[in-house]
Structure 1
Amino acid sequence: MISEPLRNPLSMFDTRDKVAIITGASGSFGRACALTLASLGGKLLLVSGSQDELNDVLREVKEVGGEARVLVRRPDTLEDAEAIRDAALEAYGRIDQLVIASGFNKAGFIQDLPLDDWEAVMNANVRGPWLMAKVVGTYWIESGIKGKMLMMSSVRGRHGNYSGYTGYCTSKGATDALTRVLATEWAQYGITVNSIAPTVFRSKLTAWMWSDDEVGQATRKRSLSRIPLGRLGEAEDLMGMALYLLTPASSFCTGQIMYVDGGYTAG
């Protein structure tokens, strides 16, 4: 007998009526993920610290026929994370997917970087995701929901960087470790946890690399020299992997750091 997935492979990527929380929804990856899930029938809670930017994403979600609510809040504390979870439950009655697309960087060599800046990076990239995982994961376990959690890592979780990334590289290494340990802890509940790890791709944080000034050109040239495919990434390059990791297609994939990097880590 031929199984339904083999008869209809696209059914494995079905996300209709699934409810997703997306933190960092106003960023490049969060926005692209929101539009992808919305256009395929998902229901979204878009979370960010900027009302104006969230409104822009909400408008675009509606343009593709999607359904979403917005919440101006960051998961800085346990109370914040609980409020985000509760807002999704109040709006839709359940949560199926958690996408942690928020992130932050403050570069500086360790001898010059203030402790406050290092802690700000760690709080945004490690503490916040841990808090969201705690409150949503607890809800999934108690509710018997086989949820899907997706985080944003980076090739910098695996490779160092000579540009003063002691905060960012450390935080993304922690993201990789958190991905693996949550995957092993939650496997017994049927919950999957994975991360996408890109190289440099176009975002608000990297917009300067696409400029024509001397610094932008030099940095872009140096980055391109390490990428076999010969170009920097766009947010859309991440969406096929994101859709895979948030749908039944990836039901036997957990604890993985999925490099979407133009071949950077292969060379």
Structure 2
Amino acid sequence: MDLSGEVALVTGASSGLGRRFAAVLASAGARVVIGGRRDERLKEVAAEITAAGGQCEAVAFDVSDARRLPEVMDQVEAVFGLVTVLVNNAGINDAMRPHKMPLELIDAVIDTNVRGPFVLCCEVARRLIAARRGGRIVNISSMGAFDYHGNAAALYSTTKAAVNRMTETLAVEWARHDINVNAIAPGAFATEMMDGMIARVGDPSGAFPRKRLGDPAQLDSSLLYLVSPGSEFVTGTVLKVDDGQMGR
């Protein structure tokens, strides 16, 4: 897999899956800009990727602040140039029963999981279209979009379902411009977000067919496929990667 010449932006990259995605894209030759709210953590990640031989720079921003995203994209492009690969990974969980959620939390979840990613997709696409350049957008959804068991994450599930539909509609909108839009819907993987859920409700892996959580490295091939020339005919697809955890 050779992504030389590609410039990738990965949001929510200070930890978890985003951190892994950034390292994988850099190892494949892409120049990577990582975004997130925790500036010091971002700098640590960028330093690790650079030390491993990749090209990576950090730009701290909050994806929920949608009005700033055009300005953020100017900052990102000033680093390596036109973004040709976007991985919309930033997201937060609500971790509260819906009837107990304050409006501020509802706004934060919707703004981070849907509004910001939608605006960022549009901003990246607008610049690619102006440059007459194709590109790849990969939105990170969740198997929670398809399956809900009352685990106090109803709004998270709802927003990830919105991400799936957003992926399908934007794929149609931009196919004529050679911009492919796909999504990955991970099941339960070992991440900081999962650690928080386990602390609240316990380890769910005992109920899974293979009694295990996913390792973030097991998403590498899915991500690389969706940003590579090999997926040129694949757009508007939500790829489920869950080890059969959710049943069918």
TM over 0.5: yes
What is the 5 A alignment of 1:15-164?
15-164=3-152
For residue 73 of structure 1, what is the amino acid of its counterpart? Answer: F
The CA distance in 1 between the partners of 2:129 and 2:183, in whole Å, is 20
The CA distance in 2 between the partners of 1:100 and 1:219, in whole Å, is 28
Shift of 1:70: 0.9
TM-score by length of 2: 0.94
SS in 1 for 2:148: coil
- Residue by residue, what CA displacement relative to the aligned partner does 1:122-157 show, whole Å, maximum 9, x if unpaired? 111001101101111111111111110011100111
The CA distance in 2 between the partners of 1:97 and 1:117, in whole Å, is 30
Choose 1 or 2 for highest CA Rg.
1
Shift of 1:89: 1.8
Hey, what does 1:197 align to over in structure 2?
A: 185
Shift of 1:208: 4.4
Asked whether the equivalents of residues 78 and 131 of structure 1 are also in contact (C-alpha less than 8 Å), the reply is: yes
Q: Does 1:219 align with 2:202?
A: yes
- Residue by residue, what CA displacement relative to the aligned partner does 1:181-236 show, whole Å, maximum 9, x if unpaired? 001111111110111101111111122466xxxx67x721x4431x3233111211
SS in 2 for 1:264: coil
Asked whether the equivalents of residues 27 and 101 of structure 1 are also in contact (C-alpha less than 8 Å), the reply is: no
For residue 50 of structure 1, what is the amino acid of its counterpart? Answer: R
Shift of 1:84: 2.4
Hey, what does 2:240 align to over in structure 1?
A: 259
- In structure 2, list runs of 5 or more residues that go unmatched: none
The CA distance in 1 between the partners of 2:85 and 2:140, in whole Å, is 14
TM-score by length of 1: 0.87
What is the 5 A alignment of 1:211-250?
219-220=202-203, 222-225=204-207, 227-250=208-231
- In structure 1, list runs of 5 or more residues that go unmatched: 1-12
Asked whether the equivalents of residues 77 and 131 of structure 1 are also in contact (C-alpha less than 8 Å), the reply is: no
The CA distance in 2 between the partners of 1:47 and 1:101, in whole Å, is 10
* Percent identity of paired positions between Structure 1 and Structure 2: 30
> Structure 1 residues 131 and 209 mapped into 2: Cα distance closer, same or farther (>3 Å)?
closer
The CA distance in 2 between the partners of 1:65 and 1:223, in whole Å, is 35
* Large movers: runs of 4+ above 4 Å: none
> Structure 1 residues 116 and 252 mapped into 2: Cα distance closer, same or farther (>3 Å)?
same
SS in 2 for 1:193: strand
Asked whether the equivalents of residues 84 and 134 of structure 2 are also in contact (C-alpha less than 8 Å), the reply is: yes
Asked whether the equivalents of residues 230 and 262 of structure 1 are also in contact (C-alpha less than 8 Å), the reply is: no
Computed over aligned residues only, the root mean square deviation of the Cα atoms, in angstroms, reads: 1.7
- Residue by residue, what CA displacement relative to the aligned partner does 1:224-264 show, whole Å, maximum 9, x if unpaired? 31x32331112111111011111111111111111110112
